[in-house]
Structure 1
């Protein structure tokens, strides 16, 4: 009983102190100590991260809440949950009113889109927002982090020289920071920034076919990454680059060796963009000695494409190798499948590049991020105007082409019709010696049969001897030549031909010159004036108009078609 009484007494004394200790909540640093040394995507960190977030919410401490959600992004293995936490980070940052935090939040979401989903469109949208909020920041680390990610997008788009400028700036900044007296975590982050910038600039130089410069940077990167076991992933990226460079130096065994060494760590972090590129270059290297292995590597690229709906332009030819392989094997099903896959890849690449190229040129300039907006708005306006002008000109050219095509088709039809006449037996003779016989039934004859027969004989001789080619031939002159009067001439032509005197003479002349052009090649080299003179017509224009009226085609077009026909024959 005494012992129980003594224990009760001790409890009563210690109880207030126990309550006081229980009421003392751990601070933010204490909570983070439980997980800050864990690796990315380690779920053991999540209970403590949630405790950190609850504390920040209860205290309405939005700056700490931003940190808590960023930690959740880091340690959550689910890619979809990373996006959810990224949105929560943005919400908390906006509530904080701190532009640096807002910029960091948008940048973080962009990185998730890029690294976890390889979605350049939404990633670039988030980078744009991060850039806008960081315009006036004094945080140089944040500025260069944004600059780094802009360089990544520009490298993807093929703007290698601009990306190289970004990465050179980042290399200079991060390298200097690794030498400053900073907290070990800050030094680590700057070292990673330095190594990643080295890796990206080596990729730029490789893409720009500056292989020797890329080689030297990769060797520097490997040397620096080997200084610590903390940078095994960064080392793997340099090994990957060394493998690709070996391929371009035709050292295929070396390429296979380095590429295989790089794969495990890059697969582990889920970087399927570089995994697909590694498999592509493995396939290219294996093609020299083991085609079956190469095809398996190419098929792994296709598997990644099917799973993630992503392909980079540089490995588009992956499908060309597969198509050609199965074409030689006469495997129609496989050839068709990979042809369809190539079409899908082309569509995706085209869509991404159209969007990204336009977007990046609206938002950034390699000379100065801060002064870009005004300059590029004007550039965009100019491009729009030029596009409209180009569309109008294209429409006009298309219209002119259609009109020209229709005109040429009409000329061809008319020429063929004339050609059919010439190919008909006796057409020329009929045209000259029997041209007065018209297809219509003559009306009741006004002239006596004697006069008509006499005029028939005289006009036949007139036509046969080509007397109609005389210049300045009038109805009076013809009447005088035939020793008759103009009334008889006019009446006979009207009755037998159904036309007046001028039309009669004009038709004789045009039929005559047309026959010469068709039957004698030397006339094809005459100019229009000479042809007009040959058939008795006084002016070039009159000849051209009359030729068109009777034949339905201009003399120059008839000559061109006839030359084409003679030349082809």
Structure 2
């Protein structure tokens, strides 16, 4: 809705018997400034003031009227119309001071809309016109605004230059308004010091600011200004790790700042109160403060850049507590918030690119661009990489656990295979009196002798192999030729018999006998476990540790070092 249409809609409310055309500028201004006049009534009087100024071709009064309207309205479309009118009037007047005022208001409206590109472009233009107009008061007012813009966009070096300039200017001038300007400049310099962690500097600045408040004209002004200074002082106490003073000072500031409906600074206080609670181990209390920041973001859909830190704590808290749902929730909110900041920072970079052509501003542009590149966050990419990393870690952990389980199963199978093999050897020597047992033993021996005398060659060789196995011939280096000679046969016949009966070649057969022997011995003889792998290999007939490892793993599915380690662990567990 256009501004004049909006104003026309409210005119019937104020129908009066006499016209306002006869009112003087002074009388209309008194009505506008009267605290008992409602906002709608003020708009009515402002419209009359503006029409009168336009009829009189008075550019200054037209500008005054539009400024009063701007301060009363919130609708962005209407505000855009107002500042366009102001620029048009200023250009029509060809008055440098009016041009400075017009561009100052355009910059303020853009900043209010978080359009930092336009805010910077027109703020710098306003500064240029105020300089040409030799209007120091207006010049330092816009310098303060530019300092605030650079502070908000994290350009602390530039912010410091502007706030220092305004503090020096207001400090040299008399009057309550200049005193307030001086205190505000010191307050802003204190915030820059907090951002840069210059705690000593902050202390000095805040002492100067607190002393200056004592010269204000009313108690209400003193309390109001000191509340904001206490916010900075409390934040500084936090940096100094004086958590008790930090909490006390921040709480002292909170009530007045809340009454002022200054939501951003209210929630910055919550941020520091939360950090104090977090650092002192009161994490549940801290989370309550950080959730207030999240509620503010949910309501406003934007935040001061510093407030994003609250989400880092929320994410860390729920990560520590294993609450993946809330960890993801606040991560997504931080990504959404960070996209807003990235867009705002990008627009500011563009503004510098197109507006600042002289050498000084060109250098500032490059510094800003570099800082943006260094500070820009891409949380979407981070989240994706984190998700992939977590998935890989989970898969790795799963595979490791599965491998560990399988290895343990193979170990237990190996142990079970040999656990009872030497039980007889552990028994004391007994005199066998049972005739049935004696008969069985005798029958067995007779059966072997019978096969030696009349059995086939294969049966004879197998029986002799069995006897040699009992004598552990395989623990010495032996070739197939040596074994064939020992068995009174040739290598071809021996190889065929081993392949048919053992389903292995000669080397596999010998290695299996050796591995079974060393496995059984390791299971029952703990002193053997103290030998090195090379020592075990040599003792059990292997030429090297590598061939021993390979043969052991082929037979059992595990390495001998793992087998020994698990045996030791099992024994320790039994103690």
Class of the TM-score when normalised by the shorter of the 2 chains: 0.5 to 0.7
User: What is the correspondence of 1:558-569 to structure 2 with a 5 Å cutoff?
Assistant: 558-559=563-564, 561-562=566-567, 565=570
| In structure 2, distance between residues paired with 1:459 and 1:561 | 33
Task: Provide closer, same or farther for how the CA distance between residues 381 and 475 of structure 1 changes in structure 2, counting only shifts above 3 A.
Answer: farther
| In structure 1, distance between residues paired with 2:111 and 2:218 | 21
Offset at residue 501 of structure 1 (A): 1.9
Q: Which residue of 1 aligns with 2:189?
A: 201
1:73 aligns with 2:70: yes
Does the CA-based 8 Å contact 1:69-1:89 persist in structure 2? Answer: yes
Does the CA-based 8 Å contact 1:362-1:380 persist in structure 2? Answer: no
Does the CA-based 8 Å contact 1:259-1:282 persist in structure 2? Answer: no
| In structure 2, distance between residues paired with 1:129 and 1:191 | 30
SS at match of 2:500: helix
1:272 aligns with 2:263: yes
1:236 aligns with 2:224: yes
Task: Provide closer, same or farther for how the CA distance between residues 166 and 279 of structure 1 changes in structure 2, counting only shifts above 3 A.
Answer: closer
| In structure 2, distance between residues paired with 1:518 and 1:143 | 85
| In structure 1, distance between residues paired with 2:382 and 2:191 | 38
SS at match of 2:215: coil
Offset at residue 543 of structure 1 (A): 3.0
Among 524, 529, 542, the residue aligned to 2:534: 529
1:146 aligns with 2:146: yes
| In structure 2, distance between residues paired with 1:191 and 1:25 | 39
User: What is the correspondence of 1:38-53 to structure 2 with a 5 Å cutoff?
Assistant: 43=39, 44-51=41-48
Q: Which residue of 2 aligns with 1:221?
A: 209
User: What is the correspondence of 1:373-412 to structure 2 with a 5 Å cutoff?
Assistant: 373-375=365-367, 377=369, 399=392, 402=395, 406=399, 409-412=402-405
Offset at residue 506 of structure 1 (A): 2.0
Task: Provide closer, same or farther for how the CA distance between residues 212 and 393 of structure 1 changes in structure 2, counting only shifts above 3 A.
Answer: closer
Task: Provide closer, same or farther for how the CA distance between residues 347 and 401 of structure 1 changes in structure 2, counting only shifts above 3 A.
Answer: closer
CA deviations on 1:375-397 (whole Å, 9 max, x unpaired) are 55566667899998998899689
Task: Provide closer, same or farther for how the CA distance between residues 205 and 62 of structure 1 changes in structure 2, counting only shifts above 3 A.
Answer: same
Q: Which residue of 1 aligns with 2:109?
A: 109
Offset at residue 505 of structure 1 (A): 1.3
Does the CA-based 8 Å contact 2:166-2:185 persist in structure 1? Answer: no
Q: Which residue of 2 aligns with 1:417?
A: 410
SS at match of 2:182: helix
| In structure 1, distance between residues paired with 2:555 and 2:342 | 60
Q: Which residue of 2 aligns with 1:87?
A: 80
CA deviations on 1:82-126 (whole Å, 9 max, x unpaired) are x3443334545787898967863454235546xxxxxxxxx3xx2
Among 461, 470, 491, the residue aligned to 1:464: 470
1:502 aligns with 2:507: yes
Q: Which residue of 2 aligns with 1:356?
A: 341
Does the CA-based 8 Å contact 2:518-2:540 persist in structure 1? Answer: yes
| In structure 2, distance between residues paired with 1:280 and 1:474 | 81
| In structure 1, distance between residues paired with 2:515 and 2:47 | 100
Does the CA-based 8 Å contact 1:90-1:106 persist in structure 2? Answer: yes
Q: Work out the number of aligned pairs and report it.
A: 469
Task: Provide closer, same or farther for how the CA distance between residues 211 and 371 of structure 1 changes in structure 2, counting only shifts above 3 A.
Answer: closer
Q: Which residue of 1 aligns with 2:363?
A: 371
| In structure 2, distance between residues paired with 1:452 and 1:210 | 95
Does the CA-based 8 Å contact 1:131-1:146 persist in structure 2? Answer: yes
| In structure 2, distance between residues paired with 1:346 and 1:397 | 15
Task: Provide closer, same or farther for how the CA distance between residues 246 and 510 of structure 1 changes in structure 2, counting only shifts above 3 A.
Answer: closer
| In structure 2, distance between residues paired with 1:535 and 1:198 | 86
Task: Provide closer, same or farther for how the CA distance between residues 528 and 462 of structure 1 changes in structure 2, counting only shifts above 3 A.
Answer: same
Q: Which residue of 2 aligns with 1:515?
A: 520
TM-score norm. by structure 1 comes to: 0.60
SS at match of 2:516: helix
SS at match of 1:198: helix
| In structure 1, distance between residues paired with 2:108 and 2:401 | 63
Offset at residue 398 of structure 1 (A): 7.1
Does the CA-based 8 Å contact 2:151-2:159 persist in structure 1? Answer: yes
1:130 aligns with 2:119: yes
| In structure 2, distance between residues paired with 1:348 and 1:389 | 14
User: What is the correspondence of 1:238-253 to structure 2 with a 5 Å cutoff?
Assistant: 238-242=226-230, 250=244
Q: Which residue of 2 aligns with 1:166?
A: 159
Offset at residue 236 of structure 1 (A): 0.5
CA deviations on 1:265-316 (whole Å, 9 max, x unpaired) are x45542234456679999999xxxxxxxx9xx98997998587688885996
Task: Provide closer, same or farther for how the CA distance between residues 377 and 150 of structure 1 changes in structure 2, counting only shifts above 3 A.
Answer: closer
Does the CA-based 8 Å contact 1:218-1:241 persist in structure 2? Answer: yes
Offset at residue 147 of structure 1 (A): 1.5
CA deviations on 1:461-481 (whole Å, 9 max, x unpaired) are 32223221222x222111112
TM-score norm. by structure 2 comes to: 0.60
SS at match of 1:131: helix
Does the CA-based 8 Å contact 2:53-2:61 persist in structure 1? Answer: yes
Q: Which residue of 2 aligns with 1:485?
A: 490
